[in-house]
Amino acid sequence: MTRIDEIVNGIYRISTTLEINGGFQFNQFLIDDERPALVHTGMHQMYEGVRDAVAQVLDPGKLEYVILLHFEADENGGMDRFLEGAPDSTLACSALSNDLNLSGWNYTGRVEGRRDGEVIDLGRHKLRFLETPHVHHWDSMMLFDETTRSLFPSDLFIQGGDQPPVVTENLGSEMCGLYREVGIFAHEGPVRRVVDRVVALDPDWVHGMHGGSLTRESLPDFVRALREEPFAYEGKLLGRPVE
Ligand SMILES: [Fe+2]
Ligand SMILES: [Fe+2]
């Protein structure tokens, strides 16, 4: 089941909970604006559910931006069909996602590779790109919407389980435990530098790909855990010990 909830001023969270380890959520964010944008598409097999959720708010054929924050199935497994179905749409990603991946893929649509500080003006919302390498991929980026002071951090500030649209609980230690179990970060260093950058941005909202959105009140618990607890790779991939 895919649900859609408006979180703040035209930013909608589309969320599907899959039965992985007792429940794990995959979110996409629809920004309803003069130039509508979809941040993450979900995986290939989630396309219909995500498209139907978008259609509850606006015509998916009117999307102007499909944005992926690093090259991975849950970010962009549905990109081909969203872009084909929206004639005025452009794929936006990091310059590295384009140079390392898309340029060597069978993708022939419009693409904009972005660098740190560049802004996409959607109308009311302005999305600033932050290059955040190794959080958790080489080509990783985040977005910061200046209007609602919303950060889109992709896989940072992750929560397992079936979370409500807005999370107020302190799940910081659980987050670090989940990161150690799945092994997505090679090292704490690059992540903690980005955490410092996030704190300096002083966001009102954090809309992650997995779990619920965090508010100004709940974010500090997650920041504290990332600064104080270990969360880097400890020899496990998706819970499986690796020699
Ligand atoms: Fe990822
Ligand atoms: Fe993800």
Q: Residues 116, 90: contact at Cβ < 8 Å?
A: no
Q: Which two tokens stand for residue 207?
A: 């809309």
Share of the chain above pLDDT 70, in %: 100
Average pLDDT over every residue of 25-52: 98
Alpha carbon of 55 to ligand 2 centroid (Å): 23
CA torsion 136→24→163→193, rounded to 10°? -10
Length of the chain measured in residues: 243
pLDDT in tens, 161-193: 999 999 999 999 999 999 999 999 999 999 999
Residue-level pLDDT at 72: 97
The helix/strand/coil state of 56 is: coil
Residue-level pLDDT at 112: 97
In this prediction, residue 239 has a pLDDT band, given cuts at 50, 70 and 90, of very high
Q: Residues 161, 177: contact at Cβ < 8 Å?
A: no
**What's phi and psi for 84, nearest 5 deg?**
-65, -35
Query: CA-CA distance, 94 to 10, in Å (whole number)?
Result: 24
Alpha carbon of 179 to ligand 2 centroid (Å): 12
Alpha carbon of 60 to ligand 1 centroid (Å): 24
Q: Is the pLDDT of residue 243 over 90?
A: no
Alpha carbon of 74 to ligand 2 centroid (Å): 6
Residue-level pLDDT at 66: 98
Q: Is the pLDDT of residue 21 over 90?
A: no
Q: Which two tokens stand for residue 50?
A: 């995500």
The helix/strand/coil state of 157 is: coil
Alpha carbon of 88 to ligand 1 centroid (Å): 27
State the ligand closest to the CA atom of 152.
Answer: 2
Residue-level pLDDT at 132: 98
pLDDT in tens, 210-230: 999 999 999 999 999 999 999
Alpha carbon of 82 to ligand 1 centroid (Å): 20
Query: CA-CA distance, 64 to 238, in Å (whole number)?
Result: 35
Alpha carbon of 43 to ligand 2 centroid (Å): 10
Closest among 41, 45, 39 to 18, alpha carbons compared? 45
HSE-CB for 19 with a 13 A CA cutoff: 1
State the ligand closest to the CA atom of 20.
Answer: 2
pLDDT in tens, 111-149: 999 999 999 999 999 999 999 999 999 999 999 999 999
